[in-house]
Amino acid sequence: MSYQVLARKWRPRKFSELVGQEHVVRALTNALDTGRMHHAYLFTGTRGVGKTTIARIFAKSLNCERGQSADPCGECSVCTAVDEGRFVDLLEIDAASNTGVDDVRELIENAQYAPSRGRFKVYLVDEVHMLSKNAFNALLKTLEEPPPHVKFLLATTDPQKLPVTVLSRCLKFNLKRLLPDQISGQMRHILGAENLTYEEAAIGELARAADGSLRDGLSLLDQAIAYGGGALRGDDVRTMLGSVARGQVLGVLDALAAGDGERLLAEATQIASYSPDFGSVLDDLASVLHRVQLIQLIPGYRAEEGSDDDQALPALAERMAPEDVQLYYQIATSGRRDLALAPDARTGFEMALLRMLAFRPGDASPTGTERSNSHTPAPVPAPRPAPARTEHRATPVPPATVPSPPRNAAVSSPPPPVAPAPSAPMPRDANGLPVWEALIAQAGLRGPLGLLAQNAVLREREGQTLVLALQPVHMHLAVEPMVSQMEERIGQALGEHIRLRFVGSSADAAVETPAARAAHARDMAQSAAEQAIEGDPLVQSLKRDFGAKVVPQSIKPIVDSRS
């Protein structure tokens, strides 16, 4: 008998065998046991988390010869036919290969016929988001009102690409990415059943490399077993994956904690000798830093027991400052992202480590030895005076490029931002209300807030509430959180707490809005510009002598940039 890969051999055949999707199993189990089943289900999630597996188990539950239930027997001819992929009333369609409308029309035509063997004809459409627009349109009517003997099970890794009309006709279940502990637990179960020896370190490496997909994890497990000649060893798995031992990552952090650049480079060179995936090494570094930070900031948290490396984390947490851990984590994740931009992966990796060392706060001693908890603050150069400008804008600096201030240093914190007071009294109309255009400018209402304000008219004031008239066509703009943001901005401009209330207005009121007046001013300027061009002697001469024509759309009024 030919070898069957682990992902297929150990594919769940009952809901009870599924790993990590309890929320979906519970809903489907209740539906099957009570008979309250929908006609269309949509299963979403990343690859290898059980979308099509759940759909096949559901098809068995519907058609099992011993009766419809959430626990199919797995032994009758229907159950065995489904497991072997030859049940005639379970039609599996790969939408990635059958995207056209003709494929869907054939499916719809066959749906009207009764099932051949089972109670229900089940259509399993995998990667349904790959269907064309015309194919979706052809499917919609049948999807909404299918024959009573038909169930649709749709699966996709990209639900955002599905039309809303399809989503509204399905019960949607989001399948979760599996945690490393869930994947490693299933691996141990399989290895025990297969009578294969393994090391815990190897299981941990494979579970992390699976990236939330049990199928990917079992494929890697197959590969690792073959690589190790039937045994599963940590060193073999790390070599296969291009990863490094946890102890080597801890060596890097230990050198950083000591501020020892020479040892840091030696650790990086040793890691490079294994020809690893440097992105994975930075991921491991970030993972260890995360656990170090948990030990530092969460009372009662303890590192997981199991490996000798984990016992070193509490000691490392004592030697590193919490703010340094945050900085190193930020550099590790950004360095992972920037590896593709480096001259080569090793250079990018070493530069990330050197960046951690460079931005590490100064040491207590000039020799660069390990810091104590009460080290002296590093000298901070005086800031260079900026040239005088009429407006100052703060330029954000990525956290990975700015050193955190040394602990115990006397650093004066800037005061919290305060809304500037109006430079001049707010102009008001005859009724004492603020002039709306001036208030918009003073409050700095731009973007979506400016669009809402420019299409409104200030009608009256009722205590602390400003009543704004808005045409029905623009009422959709007056929603949260925009209204709250506008209230805050206007309140800062007026120096008091303000509430806003929007009311409908007539079409005639539109001429009073700032947007309408601005549009009228633009039209007048455009008309004046066109008249000036038409009356220009040179233009008249060109039209008369050469038959030239003026293209109206090419005429633009001159706008004073100082206004």
Helix (H) or strand (E) holding 466: strand 465-470
Q: How far apart are CA 124 and CA 122, in angstroms?
A: 6
Average pLDDT, rounded, for the chain: 81
pLDDT in tens, 545-563: 888 888 867 888 876 544 4
| Of 407, 329, 404, the residue nearest 359 (C-alpha) | 404
| Tokens read off for 179 | 């945690």
| Tokens read off for 304 | 């997981």
Helix (H) or strand (E) holding 464: none
Q: Say yes or no: domain 246-358 is CATH 1.10.10.60.
A: no
| Tokens read off for 175 | 């399948």
In the predicted structure, residue 423 carries a pLDDT above the cut 70: no
* Residue percentage of the chain with pLDDT more than 90: 29
CATH topology (fold) of 436-512: GMP Synthetase; Chain A, domain 3 (3.30.300)
C-beta separation of 268 from 353 below 8 A: yes
The pLDDT value recorded for residue 561 is: 45
DSSP state of 509: G
Question: Which one has a higher pLDDT value, 376 or 83?
Answer: 83
Q: For the domain with range 180-241, which CATH number is right: 1.10.8.60, 2.40.50.140, 3.60.21.10, 2.60.40.10?
A: 1.10.8.60
pTM to 2 decimal places? 0.55
pLDDT in tens, 501-558: 988 876 555 557 888 888 888 888 888 888 888 888 888 888 888 888 888 678 888 7
Residue spans per domain, the chain: 6-174, 180-241, 246-358, 436-512, 517-554
pLDDT in tens, 214-266: 999 999 999 999 988 888 888 888 888 877 777 788 899 999 999 999 999 99
The pLDDT value recorded for residue 230 is: 85
Q: How far apart are CA 78 and CA 118, in angstroms?
A: 8
In the predicted structure, residue 456 carries a pLDDT above the cut 80: yes
C-beta separation of 246 from 307 below 8 A: yes
| Tokens read off for 379 | 């000298």
Q: In what order do the strands lie in the sheet with 465-470?
A: 456-462, 465-470, 499-504
What is the pLDDT confidence band of residue 1, given thresholds at 50, 70 and 90?
Answer: low
The pLDDT value recorded for residue 347 is: 94
The pLDDT value recorded for residue 219 is: 92
What is the pLDDT confidence band of residue 154, given thresholds at 50, 70 and 90?
Answer: very high
Q: How far apart are CA 63 and CA 55, in angstroms?
A: 13
The per-residue DSSP string of 114-176 comes to: PPSSSS-EEEEEETGGGS-HHHHHHHHHHHHS--TTEEEEEEES-GGGS-HHHHTTSEEEEPP
Question: Which one has a higher pLDDT value, 410 or 522?
Answer: 522
| Of 553, 460, 473, the residue nearest 506 (C-alpha) | 473
| Tokens read off for 431 | 């009724």
| Of 227, 152, 173, 201, the residue nearest 49 (C-alpha) | 173
pLDDT in tens, 99-108: 678 778 887 8
The pLDDT value recorded for residue 139 is: 85
pLDDT in tens, 2-16: 778 898 899 999 998
In the predicted structure, residue 352 carries a pLDDT above the cut 90: yes
The pLDDT value recorded for residue 234 is: 86
In the predicted structure, residue 336 carries a pLDDT above the cut 70: yes
What is the pLDDT confidence band of residue 26, given thresholds at 50, 70 and 90?
Answer: very high
pLDDT in tens, 121-149: 999 998 899 888 888 888 888 888 888 99
Could you give the 3-state DSSP secondary structure of residue 526? helix
| Tokens read off for 138 | 């052809």
Question: Which one has a higher pLDDT value, 344 or 473?
Answer: 344
Q: What is the mean pLDDT of residues 350-378?
A: 61
The pLDDT value recorded for residue 550 is: 84
In the predicted structure, residue 84 carries a pLDDT above the cut 70: yes
The pLDDT value recorded for residue 304 is: 54
| Of 46, 408, 455, the residue nearest 217 (C-alpha) | 46
Q: What is the mean pLDDT of residues 271-281?
A: 87
C-beta separation of 346 from 339 below 8 A: no
- Beta-strand ranges (E) seen in 12-135 are 40-44, 90-94, 121-126
Q: Cβ of 127: how many Cβ atoms within 10 Å?
A: 20
What is the pLDDT confidence band of residue 211, given thresholds at 50, 70 and 90?
Answer: confident
C-beta separation of 248 from 346 below 8 A: no
Q: How far apart are CA 482 and CA 502, in angstroms?
A: 12
What is the pLDDT confidence band of residue 290, given thresholds at 50, 70 and 90?
Answer: very high
Q: For the domain with range 6-174, which CATH number is right: 3.40.50.1100, 3.40.50.300, 1.10.10.10, 3.40.50.150?
A: 3.40.50.300
